[in-house]
Amino acid sequence: MKELVELLAKSLVDHADDVHVRREETDNTILLEITVNKEDLGKIIGRKGRVIKAIRTLVWASAPADKRVMVELVE
């Protein structure tokens, strides 16, 4: 999942080298934090949040059934 989010984010932004995804896992939750260049925040969020929502949907669909997955955008 981390690789999927990283691939999607890098394909959307202008500064692909500044994209970092951090994974933190607990018993029933996986947290993926995306960090991008400040100039690329709008590209990841998208108009009315559609892009980040689509990324969350793709991650949710590929997640294990027993885990809750959260995708957060960190400034």
Which residues lie below 8 Å from residue 32, measured CB to CB, with a gap of 6+? 1, 2, 5, 21, 22, 23, 59, 69, 70, 71, 72
Q: Work out the pLDDT band at 64, boundaries 50, 70, 90.
A: confident
Q: Work out the pLDDT band at 48, boundaries 50, 70, 90.
A: very high
Structure tokens at 27: 């018993």
Q: What domains are defined for the chain?
A: 2-74 (3.30.300.20)
Structure tokens at 7: 């691939």
Share of the chain above pLDDT 70, in %: 100
| Coil, helix or strand at residue 72 | strand
pTM above 0.75, yes or no: yes
Q: Work out the pLDDT band at 75, boundaries 50, 70, 90.
A: confident
